[in-house]
Structure 1
Amino acid sequence: MRRDVPAREAEIAALVGERVMTVAEVDHRLRLLRSGPLAARLPAPGTAEGRNLRRWLVQVMVAEILAGQEAARLGLPSEPSEPSEPFGSTTLAPPIEPSASPVRSGRPAPPRVAEDTARAVLTLAGALRTGGVAAAVLATAPAARAVCRALTAESTPSEEDARDYYRRNLDRFTTPETRWVRPFGPVRRGEMTGPLEDAVFAAREGETVGPVGGPGGPWTLVVERIEAARREPYEAVRALVRAELAEREGERAFARWLDARQAGCVRLTPGHEHPADPAQPDAGHRH
């Protein structure tokens, strides 16, 4: 990004084409972020990390503006059915409630390709594919998603690529054996430990086991029902796999487009550089 800045730069955070993004706008978004539910996890103001948080938020805001400009230029339809809240105004995921039982949280879920492709979610995998700024904007800005779709409107994954993805990710389309255990509910291997898991998965359907030692125990358990492991055949998930591959290619295309557009028409004032810019004084990675 070019660093030549206009006059009155003290009031300007960035120039995005003809659009002036003011310091006041950045301050407002930062206040939203610091007053939100994740405030306690953010670096303290006045520290190098706190200043880099501000720099990173500026990059997200710039990307939102660029996406909005491109969507308007292309005449892309909006997404009125989807609420659009700018990054930093709300939490992106609900908190995880602790469980009182010895069954571990985060049990594997059945295939979720349809759900994953139906809504935009900020995930670590998405950030690793596209970079954190692009992933954040795609998760929160309908204009960015519209541009993303437009960039790959004429591109579709091949049948060979879809089948290869299915073969390499069979775990995503496999539901492991599930045992319905009273009083825990549905349990899969790896969600219990030691003697409890051994007893539950050695039992027959309808059998009572215990007392068995374990956290908060001993426990007497009833294996009420056993559901065998199953795998979705390729034909049943083919359309969903192709849709996900198309979405991922769109994300990568959007990230490339965003990099090029930022380099061509964005000017940042001092203090609002990218956190990874080695020329800024708080850069944490140097050679």
Structure 2
Amino acid sequence: MSEHAAVVGGETVPVERVEALLAAVPARDVETRTEAFARAERQRRRWATQVVVTDELARRACVERGLAPPAEVSPERVPAVSGTDVADLGSIVAVALAHSPAARALLAALEAEQRVPEETVRDYYVRNRDRFLTKDALRRGVDPFSTADAGDFQPYERVRDDVMRELRRARGRLAFFDWLDGARAGVEYTAGHEHPGDPAHPDHEHRH
């Protein structure tokens, strides 16, 4: 087996980093000594490689952007991450954000860069009125699209900042995905460490 899992920017990513992450993340409850177990382990290694590569790419991006150097990763103490924070990011990105201080720092920087026009915020408020019913209206079962009147909704001025933050976060996540897609395009993987969705290997799975 190769001593490195991937090559990023001409530098190797040691297999030991993948092994450390695998040791920190429990395997699925699959009966050992079966083909299903062997297949799951192969995919788990490829998945872990993607997490480690994402960390490596994020470290480099932080340096390029002049962000404060994140603390070293400690796989044994992967911080808890709220499902509402990362449930829509996919398992690779979700664990990368939990595993990598650099990835979290980069995501925060990308979110801070987003500029959401006022008209976009107001349009979101108008198109999603069901999200802004007052507690009293909710208790009364008011239909926001037919029976509600103006007093059944929280005023725009009260919820504007929350909507702005939510839209900025959403745009920041999209920017993170775009950055990651571009950054890992040039990564070279050794056999057994390819992306889990790479159709070049026979048991690929198209999931993140």
Find the counterpart in structure 1 of residue 21 from structure 2. 29
Distance (Å, rounded) in 2 between the aligned partners of 1:23 and 1:163: 49
Find the counterpart in structure 1 of residue 44 from structure 2. 53
8 Å Cα contact 1:87/1:136 also seen in 2: no
8 Å Cα contact 1:44/1:50 also seen in 2: no
Per-residue CA distance 1:185-204 (angstroms, 9 max, x = gap): xxx799xxxxxxxxxxxxxx
In the alignment of these two chains, the number of paired residues is: 192
Q: 1:85 to 1:189 in 2, by over 3 A?
A: farther
Distance (Å, rounded) in 1 between the aligned partners of 2:29 and 2:132: 36
| Higher relative strand content | 1
Distance (Å, rounded) in 2 between the aligned partners of 1:144 and 1:13: 19
1:169 maps onto 2:160 in alignment: no
Amino acid across the alignment from 1:271: G
Distance (Å, rounded) in 1 between the aligned partners of 2:125 and 2:204: 41
Distance (Å, rounded) in 1 between the aligned partners of 2:122 and 2:112: 21
> How does the TM-score come out when normalised to structure 1?
0.56
- Deviation, 1:139, is 4.8
- Note the 1:9-28 alignment, pairs <5 A: 10-28=2-20
- Say which SS state the counterpart of residue 25 (structure 2) adopts: helix
Find the counterpart in structure 2 of residue 274 from structure 1. 195
Per-residue CA distance 1:219-263 (angstroms, 9 max, x = gap): xxxxxxxxxx96432111111211221121111111111111101
8 Å Cα contact 1:134/1:254 also seen in 2: no
> How does the TM-score come out when normalised to structure 2?
0.74
Amino acid across the alignment from 1:26: V
- Say which SS state the counterpart of residue 47 (structure 1) adopts: helix
Distance (Å, rounded) in 1 between the aligned partners of 2:31 and 2:62: 36
Per-residue CA distance 1:6-37 (angstroms, 9 max, x = gap): xxx62111112244222222122111112xxx
- Deviation, 1:147, is 2.3
Find the counterpart in structure 1 of residue 159 from structure 2. 237
Q: Which has the larger radius of gyration?
A: 1
**Unpaired runs of at least 5, structure 2:** 142-150
| Higher relative helix content | 2
Distance (Å, rounded) in 2 between the aligned partners of 1:177 and 1:44: 52
Distance (Å, rounded) in 1 between the aligned partners of 2:99 and 2:132: 28
- Deviation, 1:152, is 5.9
Find the counterpart in structure 1 of residue 168 from structure 2. 246
1:72 maps onto 2:63 in alignment: yes
Please, what is the CA RMSD of the aligned residues? Answer: 3.4
